Amino acid sequence: MAFYDTRLTGKKEVAEGTLEFILEKPKDFKFRAGQFFDIILKATPGAEKKTYVHGFSFVNAPYEDYIAAATRMRGSEFKNAIRDLPLNSPIRIEAVWGSYTLPKDESRPMVFLIGGVGITPVRSMVAQATHDKTAHKITLLYSNETPARAPFTQDLQQFAAQNRNFTFVPVYTQGHDASAEHGRINADMIRRHVPDLAAATYYLSGPPGMVRAMRELLVQMDIDEDNIRTEEFDGY
């Protein structure tokens, strides 16, 4: 791992209760779509590490000329501190980690069953696959309470319009949207959008409870556990 000095160049609300933080990309900085990094804020003497260090998946894809992280704002000391940090403030990051990434084998279909801010590494992977015009066939079932609570929906719709290999299926547990699935992701919903269940690799990310439920569901559907990859977003 290595440390990099950067600065905060932007912050914006990308859904109700979710903020995105934009950082300057250090020169020659490299990572793979889907990986994650730590943001390290200036610490006061004796402070607990969790108050000034936090891990984030890259929202941006490697080809994009910035670094981005997004999080649900739940009132933790770290989140309050970065929310209140003035623009152009110096920030240190440590990177990179993670194997929750696009496979080199482009022949096997990928199915993402994602909840909430668990979309961040997926946005990175789909953006990179679309940019590179890879042959990865990607189906994304993306679950949120309502459209207003769903980060990066506009980006995902744009990628789906550009990339014939990417299918975007929004899923809402509340409210109504004629273009979306409704209710919790279940076996029938997956079968409607995944024609060959056994042929795919399944990627799960989001709140730990959802990730566990989706894994159990896939196992009940006789999906080989070797074809299930997970990333839990505890406390996000």
Q: Which residues contact 48 (CB under 8 A, 6 or more apart)?
A: none
pLDDT in tens, 202-220: 999 999 999 999 999 999 9
The reported pTM is 0.95
CATH class of segment(s) 110-232: alpha beta
Type of residue numbered 63: Y
The one-letter amino acid code at 101 reads T
Torsion of the alpha carbons at 126, 132, 134 and 137, rounded to the nearest 10:
20
- Rounded to 5 degrees, φ, ψ at 185 are -60, 130
Q: At 103, phi and psi to the nearest 5?
A: -75, 155
What CATH number matches the domain at 2-97, 3.40.50.2300, 3.90.1150.10, 2.40.30.10, 1.10.10.10? 2.40.30.10
Note the pLDDT tens digit of each residue in 37-94. Answer: 999 999 888 899 999 999 999 999 999 999 999 999 988 999 999 999 999 999 999 9
Check whether 31 has a pLDDT greater than 70: yes
User: In the chain, where are the structural domains located?
Assistant: 2-97, 110-232
Strand-pair category, 90-97 with 110-115 = unpaired
pLDDT at position 234, please? Answer: 62
Q: What is the pLDDT of residues 133-160, one digit of tens each?
A: 999 999 999 999 999 999 999 999 999 9
pLDDT above 90 covers what percent of the chain? 92
Vertex 111 angle, CA 110 and 116, to 5°:
130
**pLDDT of amino acid 45:** 86
Place of tokens 């490697």: 62
User: Torsion angle, CA of 99/4/70/64, rounded to 10 degrees?
Assistant: -80
